[in-house]
Amino acid sequence: MAANRWFFPTNTENLKTILAHGLICGPAGYKKYYSDISCSFFGFIPIFCNGNDGHKKALTKAREEDANLDLCLLEINLNQIQAGKVYLTDSSPVDIEQCHDPSFGTICIPAPLPLSCVKQVIFCDSKTKYTFTDDIKSYGDTPQDALKMVVAKKPEQKLFKEAEQTGMLGDSKETEAEPSFSAQYTCSTHQNYKNIYSFGGSLCTLFYFAKNGATTNSALGDCTKIKKLENYVENDEPITFESLLCCLNNYFYHKTGHTKKNVPQFIILDSVLDSLVEQEKNEHITSIVNFLNSADVFDKEEEKSRAKELSKRLTDFYNNKIDSKASTLFSTSRSRVEKILLLLAYRDDVAGLLETDIAKLEVFDEEDYIIAAILFGARSKYHKIPISLRQYPGIQGYMSYLMAQFAHTTGNTGITFKKPPIPLTIMEMVDPRRREQSKKLGFIYWLSNKYTKLQNCFETIMPNKKFANDNGKSTYDGVVLPEINIKEQEYFKVMSKIKVDDEAYETILKKYKSA
């Protein structure tokens, strides 16, 4: 076995949690986490070179709570970390480029790590691997193909057996006699995981709705740049969609989207996001209503009166005290923000949003969907996004990277990761304006036949050349390629009503790649 292989030992219960959340965090990042070695390095992920004995203590720790827990090793690929400092057990910082030296024995990487850093998951035997894969299939809320999973070969089996032979596994008395890692290590880092998972939830939901049109696709591109946007308006300027998107995106970076500009809609969006990110699901609406009723939030009496009016309308709608049809209520909203607040009271989470044919209400435009995607995604958090979206091919790895890089960017750790392949949105596949699309005309034809209502969303334009009429057919000399245009408004109205789960997306993607 190569001398420079690095491992993070844990148990399969924690592995389920890691896969469901899309990040390797240690105990700080999850509500339920069984004790393992990361508990002694709070805020860091300790990894061990196979050439030292650190893995023995770590395997012991992974069974500290229950001797019946199954063990596994996550083999870490340090090449996926582009830059930054990690730490030795004496708290000494070391550049990641120097950490391929196995003489360090143990290194500690600031959490979280994306799943792309895991080369493979190693199980001690085939029974353990089968039990684990069978379990995650039965749970139905965990992406199944996010990581490569293998059974230990002879060199890896030695890592498990060495610890067994020392009599340490499941032996709490010997474990207590071992030196404390935490006593040797004083560095710590703190991440706001609620904010991180809300960020991931927003992007994952936005990726799904990017099927709806070029505007959503562009918004997704802006929000995945992992930086603040600059597109604000002054108090006396009209509120634009771009400024609302800027406010929502920037909230995640400094927990404020409106900076110093006292724009009521920006203030409301900041407070709404505070509630969605920090509060439990059943407390969201109450928190938003309490904010709207606060007397000292808005400067002008007109703004205070309008906020209280909105508060009452929101409360009555949430408590089913309004007789009007939902479409009537939404269509009479005075602003885009008010419309989305009512939508938050109308449905609980992303799953509810997808199950409801809000497109049939025909009062929401593409920009409304974008704002709704960000807010509902923030409310659900990434690990509560429907599995049918998180199992899109490539999406788990990409979202894991975005959440991890976002965490380290906002945490100023200096850690950067290699970007994984970026999955294509349906809009990127179907948009005729993409240069390579001239080779994909057959794909557009296929898709518009699969979803027949899409046929009227495109138009075919022939070059302005001389042609002849042959029995009702236009004929051209030579080889002439048609130009396909997308009719964006018609396309949005149709595609917003089409539901695309992971199986449908995979079918579309395969057809696109083979075209």
Q: For the chain, give the longest Cα–Cα distance.
A: 93
Lowest mean pLDDT among 61-70, 157-166, 329-338, 399-408: 157-166
For residue 480, what pLDDT is reported? 78
Query: Phi-psi category of 371—alpha, beta or left, where left has phi over 0 and alpha has psi -120 to 50?
Result: alpha
What pLDDT is recorded for position 270?
86
Q: Give me the amino acid identity at 263.
A: V
CA distance 390 to 382: 9
Amino acid at 128: T
Percentages helix, strand, coil for the chain (3-state, rounded to 5) are: 55, 10, 35
Per-residue confidence at 178, pLDDT binned at 50, 70, 90? very low
Taking 70 as the threshold, does the pLDDT of residue 411 lie above it?
yes
Q: Where are the alpha helices (DSSP H) in 34-125?
A: 54-61
Mention every residue, 6+ apart, whose C-beta is less than 8 A from residue 513: none
Mean pLDDT, residues 105-129 taken together = 92
CA dihedral 212, 216, 221, 227 (to 10 degrees): -150
Residue 112, phi then psi, degrees to nearest 5:
-95, 165
- State the Cα torsion 293-281-33-117 to the nearest 10°: -90
Over range 40-50, report the average pLDDT: 87
Report residue 357's pLDDT band, with 50, 70 and 90 as the boundaries. low
Give the closest residue to 388 by CA, choosing from 503, 512, 506: 503
Residues in the chain: 515
- Bigger pLDDT: 168 vs 469: 469
- Residue 21, token pair as written in the block: 């959340």
- Look at residue 3 and tell me whether its pLDDT is greater than 80: no
pLDDT of residue 78: 92
pLDDT in tens, 379-393: 999 999 999 999 999
Q: Give the model's pLDDT for residue 98.
A: 83
- Region 429-434: mean pLDDT is 80
Check whether 202 has a pLDDT greater than 60: yes
**Residue 256 confidence class, pLDDT cut points 50, 70, 90:** very low
Per-residue model confidence as pLDDT tens digits over 65-80: 888 899 999 999 999 9
Q: Averaged over 439-457, what is the pLDDT?
A: 87
